[in-house]
Chains A and B, each alone.
Chain A
Amino acid sequence: MLPTLRAFFEYLGGERDDAPLLHSARSRMLLRCAVWIAFIVLIYFFSGQSSKFIYIDF
């Protein structure tokens, strides 16, 4: 179960191309839309406080 869950999170984050647990194209598309909306909302909500990336010429 744990590897499947991990693969699912990797799919949500764009790291993996194949979507575990989701077999229909429609469910994959709906999930992608939901994830994009959630990500954009989070970015919009938190973007005011941004700082330098640690690894840029540290």
Chain B
Amino acid sequence: MIFNTFAYYLGFLIPSAALYRIAPARLRAWVIVLFGSSFFLYFAYEMAGVRGAACLFIFVWESLTSRLYRPASRWCLLGMAQSLLLLGVFKYWNFFTGLVFLHRANPARWPGAFLPLGISFFTFEFYHYAWDRRAGKTEAGSLSEYLAFILFFPTMVAGPIKRYQDFLPKLRAHPVEANRDWERGVTRILSGLVKKFAIADLLTAWTNHLNAHDILLADRRILPLWLLAYGIKIYADFSGYSDIAIGSARLFGIRVPENFNWPYGRRNITRFWECWHISLTRWLIDYIYIPLGGSRVAPLRVYANILVVFLLSGLWHGAGLHFVAWGLWHGLLLCGHRLWRRLRGAPSPHPLAAYSSSALTFVLANAGWAFFCMDLHTAMLFFRRLLIG
């Protein structure tokens, strides 16, 4: 829950943002570290008990090893490996060992598996720092500054995924325009809560029907409406979440990256992904797509790179085959769009062409949510009932 609890606002956000404003410059990073640690302990304990709270050690360990990172250093490679190892063990252990022992009892199963709070996001920030330090793209900063970066609690749990070189100057700058920051920040938080409560949660009454039993019994004409409801719900839910995170950061006078830019209604799937979960898309481009060769390799390799990126993106969204299928769906759509552009050239400027391609993009992106919100078997049942009857 977190962002829709009083504890978040009264116990963490308001006191820390106020204290941050009045603290001397040398102590401001420590204010974030203190409240970020308390935030993690409180909510991680609430979600996973003592073992969840103990995961604060991950941040301590990461901050200590990060002091070894230098340009072109092997320590950075070790840092990247440990970020991936953390994510792999906590999030994918049972998934991958389950695939190894397919159709048999999994002797390597970790029965008490749990997810440390925010692991999908903070490991990406760890990885980015190690990579960019190795490439000489960012300075080291002090221990307190790096700790403030990784423990900045408004973005710790579900992003937006920050970059150290963007965050550091804002942390070092003296926060000015307190009135404007607080007015805009509070407005952003309120609008995020409205999206969550009045749109996303309201649509749950419809999206709850997306299960095998209801799909089998329902009139097939209602099925696209349920999926459309999910498309709107996930947008309202995650963009609402991002609004609260960005608004919370604004109370500190710190601007973090935007995550959404009116994705529905974009003219093609490439533009959709430039406007949906922007901080993740940029991370995937910078740390997977470009290292694989990006668009500067042979055409077939480019298609392969796109598919690899989106298969990994799907897997990152969840340890399940239906998430992999969702990633594959979007990877294929992007490859299809790229091929279409290669064959047909620039898009037609005619308004009718623009509206119809926006509508098609909307339908295809929404169809993909079936793989996101249902397991593979149920999603296939959904499409079978929708298209065949």
Contact = CB atoms under 8 A, between A and B. Distances in A.
Nearest to B177: A17
B184 A46 contact: no
B185 A14 contact: yes
A46 B241 contact: no
B1 A13 contact: no
B201 A51 contact: yes
Contacts of B118: 56-57
B188 A46 contact: no
Q: Which of B117, B188, B197 has the most CB of A within 10 A?
A: B197
A54 B188 contact: no
Contact of B234 (A17, A39, A54): A54
Given A15-B188, A17-B184, A56-B2, A51 B204 contact: yes
28 contacts: A12-B187, A12-B191, A13-B187, A13-B243, A14-B184, A15-B243, A15-B258, A35-B190, A43-B190, A45-B198, A49-B202, A50-B197, A51-B204, A53-B1, A53-B2, A53-B3, A53-B4, A53-B238, A53-B241, A54-B234, A54-B237, A55-B158, A55-B237, A55-B238, A56-B241, A57-B47, A57-B120, A57-B157
Contacts of B180: 17
B234 A43 contact: no
B247 interface: yes
B194 interface: yes
A5 B198 CA distance: 22
Nearest to A58: B318
B183 interface: yes
B101 interface: no
Contacts of B193: 39, 43
Interface string A11-33: 01111010000000000000010
Nearest to A6: B262
Contacts of B184: 14, 17
A1 B194 CA distance: 26
B198 A42 contact: yes
A53 B196 contact: yes
Nearest to B185: A14
Contact of B191 (A6, A32, A39, A53): A39
Contacts of A53: 1-4, 158, 196, 237-238, 240-241
A36 B187 CA distance: 7
B133 to A, nearest CB: 27
B210 to A, nearest CB: 13
Given A53-B237, A55-B237, 11 more contacts: A13-B243, A14-B185, A14-B250, A15-B188, A49-B202, A50-B197, A54-B234, A55-B158, A56-B158, A57-B47, A58-B317
Given A12-B191, A57-B115, A47 B241 contact: no
Nearest to A45: B198
A58 B204 CA distance: 17
A17 B189 CA distance: 14
A27 B186 CA distance: 19
Contact of A32 (B183, B185, B189): B183
Contacts of A58: 120, 317-318
Contacts of A6: 262
A48 B262 CA distance: 28
A46 B197 contact: yes
B197 A14 contact: no
A49 B198 CA distance: 9
B119 interface: yes
A13 B241 contact: no
Contacts of A39: 187, 190-191, 193-194
